[in-house]
Structure 1
Amino acid sequence: MNNEEKIKVIEKGTLEVISSDELESKLEKDQPVAYTGYEPSGKIHLGHAITIAKLKSLQDIGFKIKILLADYHAYLNGKGSVDEIAETAEYNKKCFQALGLNDTTEFIYGSTFQTKEDYTKNVYKLATLTTLSRAKRSMDQVSRHSDNPKVANVIYPLMQVADMVALDVDIALGGMEQRKIQMLARENIDKISNNIPVCVHTPLLHGLDGDEKMSSSKGNFIAVDDTEKEIKTKINKAHCPMGEVEGNPIIEIAKYFIFSNQAELTIKRPEKFGGDLTLTEDELINLYSKEELHPMDLKSGVADYLIEYLKPVREFMEGE
């Protein structure tokens, strides 16, 4: 596969690549590094699975994958005691392995390097370069809108920039909620390193309740290790307004998990309701937007697919 073809793989299914013209030089390396960080703070769900799928595609074209299990970040964000976070991190790691990343994937705990001298010096240097206003803009949404944010919430984005330097990152992958931090990195990394990462942003998945983001803390998610019954129950209860496509979590699941892997979806229906339907993505969107496909039929087809799609994850976790 030549570099042009690899760039198409990198860009596929993303919302933004900053910047595509920098990818060529990254691909000239023997084994470029792609990284993303996950704060161990709950169940691994479909929102995480979008980024894992992207990491798998990067792995397939020769990237070294580094996943930061950001235990110190989780502690700064008030996600539990050190022992609780460590236990969650191990569960998260198993989920990521179950989603298909191969044995070359490097899982790195933040606590293994984030107190070392060079790392600490970089955080201090970034603190002298970053205004308080800029740091606040990079904070996560909850902290940013808090009436009384903690100092830890401001340190968090500086550490995330220092992480990219410590892990020698060529591509920094994350959902669009990571954009402000990744732009902070691109603004300042050249002051402490000569390897500025290309930033790749994947879509955010709406929560099953219609909230703008699927989140384990809000309970509006499908976990990758949910049982068949849990998947069906959650899908059946999900927000899926008749005829509405934008912001519809069931439509998004179809787009990002079904039609990214296959050309058609078969929806099983009794003959009295018109019989089975086999639809492309365009056909499904067209029918649904015209209110010619009932939400429960859509939900049924998506649930059936997800049950099979996540079956290897359930089997992996049960075998551990």
Structure 2
Amino acid sequence: MDAAERARLVTRYTEEAVTRDEIESILADRDEPHVYIGYAPTGEMHIGHFTTMRKLADFLAAGLEVTVLIADLHAHLDDEKSPFELLDARSRYYEEAIRGMIAAAGADPSAIEFVRGTDYQLDEPYTLELYRLIADTTISRAQRAGSEVVRASENPKLGGLVYTLMQALDVSALGADIAYGGIDQRGIYMLARETLDEKPACVFAPLLSGLTGGKMSASEASSKVNLTDSAEVIAEKIEGAYCPQGEVEDNGVLEYLEYLVFPVFAEQDEPLVVERPEEYGGDLTYETYDHLEADYVAGELHPADLKPAAAAAISDVVAPVRDRLTGQPQLLAEAYPETYDA
């Protein structure tokens, strides 16, 4: 596989690459370049995480070394979203959930290295570099870089500023050639490109719209599909989702299909079938998302037909992860005791 094809795999289904030329150069010069993504173990993972994690299958297919950072210290620094006493349990849950998502996407989770922030962020080389960044970075610059990531307030805590600098430093500490994350991480990784001796290339995943329209909210159950949602719950959420006829913008149902269902189905060599009564034209079969979207915009595919098919497909993709997690009730109860009974 040549560098151009590897770069296509690395950058497909993404919002932005900084820059495509840099990524092609890295892939041409190195047999196994290193890409990393970090996740702070806070709330339960959901389908938005799944669309991001599915991309790791592309990185593996392109021959990259992949590291997933379970950023446990970050989870507490960001306005104490995870208390110290739950960091270990939530870190274990995140690793298990991510392994499940990678396997469901058709890749081998054992090919991915998992690291916790506490494995290295308390050691002297890292802390000395962090102090250097603290000394060199203004408060306003750190706030601007992390404005889309850490919880904002009129009187921000220092933890959010340190969080931002640590995430920038993690790129170097983990030896990553490419930093990967949601497009909301862009400001932090641009800071990394400004401040680190070796500036990383970056790949950014899109942020999905919520099922209720607008931005997906982790605190609004109806706006997202959780990894532990049953097929019935998923069907209810998709049935009630914002999905106006012919409209693509802010349409979470279509985005779930574009960034998760169709990529996973493609790996399985399976089309998406929309069942319809013969009186309305009969079943529709879609090999690609672009074909489905074109029919939807043209009015050839109605939301009433799309939604049941989308719900069934999403449930099929999520099912292996759901079974993996619900089969470990103790893991869920220890990570989220307020939600699950031990």
Q: TM-score normalised to the size of structure 1? A: 0.91
**1:160 corresponds to:** 167
1:265-288, Cα deviation, whole Å (9 max, x unpaired): 211123344432224534432332
CA shift at 1:144, angstroms?
6.6
Q: How does 1:144-159 map to 2 (within 5 A)?
A: 145-159=152-166
Q: Distance in 2 between matches of 1:24 and 1:141?
A: 28
5+ long unaligned stretches in structure 1: none
Over aligned residue pairs, what C-alpha RMSD do you find?
2.0
Q: How does 1:223-302 map to 2 (within 5 A)?
A: 223-260=226-263, 261-262=265-266, 264-279=271-286, 280-302=288-310
Which secondary structure does the structure 1 equivalent of 2:196 belong to? helix
Q: Percent identity?
A: 40
CA shift at 1:168, angstroms?
0.7
Which secondary structure does the structure 2 equivalent of 1:200 belong to? strand
Counting matched residue pairs gives: 315
Cα pair distance change 1:3/1:69, threshold 3 Å: same
5+ long unaligned stretches in structure 2: 329-342
The AA in structure 1 aligned to 2:34 is V
2:213 pairs with 1:206 = no
Runs of 4+ deviating beyond 6 Å: none
1:267-315, Cα deviation, whole Å (9 max, x unpaired): 1123344432224534432332244433221111111111211222233
CA shift at 1:255, angstroms?
1.3
**1:317 corresponds to:** 325
Q: Does the CA-based 8 Å contact 2:242-2:252 persist in structure 1?
A: yes
**1:54 corresponds to:** 55
Q: Distance in 2 between matches of 1:16 and 1:80?
A: 30
Q: Does the CA-based 8 Å contact 2:234-2:315 persist in structure 1?
A: yes
Q: Distance in 1 between matches of 2:190 and 2:9?
A: 22
Q: Does the CA-based 8 Å contact 1:34-1:55 persist in structure 2?
A: no
The AA in structure 2 aligned to 1:87 is A
Q: Does the CA-based 8 Å contact 1:136-1:144 persist in structure 2?
A: no
Q: Distance in 1 between matches of 2:112 and 2:191?
A: 26
Cα pair distance change 1:83/1:110, threshold 3 Å: same
The AA in structure 2 aligned to 1:287 is D
Q: TM-score normalised to the size of structure 2? A: 0.86
Q: How does 1:1-320 map to 2 (within 5 A)?
A: 1-27=1-27, 28-77=29-78, 78-99=80-101, 100=103, 101-141=108-148, 143=150, 145-190=152-197, 195-212=198-215, 214-219=216-221, 220-260=223-263, 261-262=265-266, 264-279=271-286, 280-320=288-328
